[in-house]
Amino acid sequence: MANYSLENMDKFIINTGNILSIKDITKKPNQNLSEELADAINFTFKEFQSNGTSQPQSDQLLVVNRHNDNLKIDEHDLADLKIGFKIFLNKDNQASLAEAVQQALSMLNVDGINDVIITFKQQHSEDKKDNLEQIQNAWRILESLVESDKIKEIGIADVEENTFRALHQWANVKPNIIQINLATCCVVPPSLQDFCKDNDIKLLTHSDPSDILPKSYIEEIFGKPLVLKWALRFLIHVKCRGVLTTKGYLLHFSEV
């Protein structure tokens, strides 16, 4: 991995563009998510240093883009596409969640998308419990985005069944999706399956790690410690064929 000079960059967003167009990544189908992210970041910076673009914003936040992100959105009518986000949050910062969604909508140049799933970085502890207040703080942002027609469906990943039931009961806009990591839950509880069926909730599985880009990866990439405030993965499918045409990441880093 390469190191990058960041003397004048105390906070920045990396937009990997469509990583399905990067052969160095697609030829490694067995990579885990952290390895895929590290490769995508390195490739993005390499192309950026050659002929990429940056978009400084009013708050001095720099967005680093590839020159040709190849998102493939313009190749189809928006009505024919299913666009979804999964947002990895490190804390219950409502501003971070709102920023992540707005940055992604702006980058894709769309007014709204189909679904958003949120997940929180979990602490490694045997007595670790879900923080319902933390989840509710984030959920209020998602509800406002649904009410403004920017998102159609909202969901959450990696929470206990009791937490999910409590969220469902509390929420004004009910969760449409729950994601379960089969690495930590080998068998989905029948009671959760029944609850989802009774309430028309999509029960999905995934294999994403809680810590998608560990500190060791960040320091190796950038040559110094940085904080990953949030990461967002965007996926675009062609509805009629179920074909994935675009996959990429936005990541917000800041000084420790």
Give tens-digit pLDDT for 156-212. Answer: 999 999 999 999 999 999 999 999 987 776 678 899 999 999 999 999 999 898 899
pLDDT at 232 over 70: yes
Band (pLDDT 50/70/90 cuts) for residue 242 is confident
Instruction: Look at residue 144 in the predicted model and tell me its pLDDT.
Output: 97
Instruction: Look at residue 53 in the predicted model and tell me its pLDDT.
Output: 56
Band (pLDDT 50/70/90 cuts) for residue 81 is very high
Give the span between the Cα atoms of 144 and 168, in whole angstroms.
Answer: 16
Instruction: Tell me the DSSP string of the chain.
Output: ------TT-SEEEEE---GGG-HHHHT-TT--HHHHHHHHHHHHHHHHHHH-EE---TTS-EEEE-S-----GGGS-GGGEEEEEEEEESS--HHHHHHHHHHHHHHHT-S-EEEEEEEEPPP--TT----HHHHHHHHHHHHHHHHTTSEEEEEEES--HHHHHHHHHH-SS---EEEEETTT-SS--HHHHHHHHHTT-EEEEE---SSSS-HHHHHHHHSS-EEEEEEEEEEEEETTTTEEEEEEEEEEEEE-
Residue pair 5/56 in contact (Cβ under 8 Å)? The answer is no
Domain 11-255 has CATH 3.20.20: yes
Instruction: Look at residue 182 in the predicted model and tell me its pLDDT.
Output: 78
Question: What is the arithmetic mean of pLDDT over 230-237?
Answer: 96
pLDDT at 154 over 90: yes
pLDDT digits (tens, 9 = 90+) for 89-141: 987 678 899 999 999 999 999 999 999 999 998 755 455 688 899 999 999 99
pLDDT digits (tens, 9 = 90+) for 211-226: 999 999 999 998 889 9
pTM assigned to the model? 0.91
Instruction: Look at residue 59 in the predicted model and tell me its pLDDT.
Output: 62
pLDDT digits (tens, 9 = 90+) for 28-71: 777 888 999 999 999 998 888 777 555 555 566 788 888 777 78
Question: What is the arithmetic mean of pLDDT over 1-12?
Answer: 64
Instruction: Look at residue 1 in the predicted model and tell me its pLDDT.
Output: 47
Instruction: Look at residue 123 in the predicted model and tell me its pLDDT.
Output: 59
Band (pLDDT 50/70/90 cuts) for residue 22 is confident
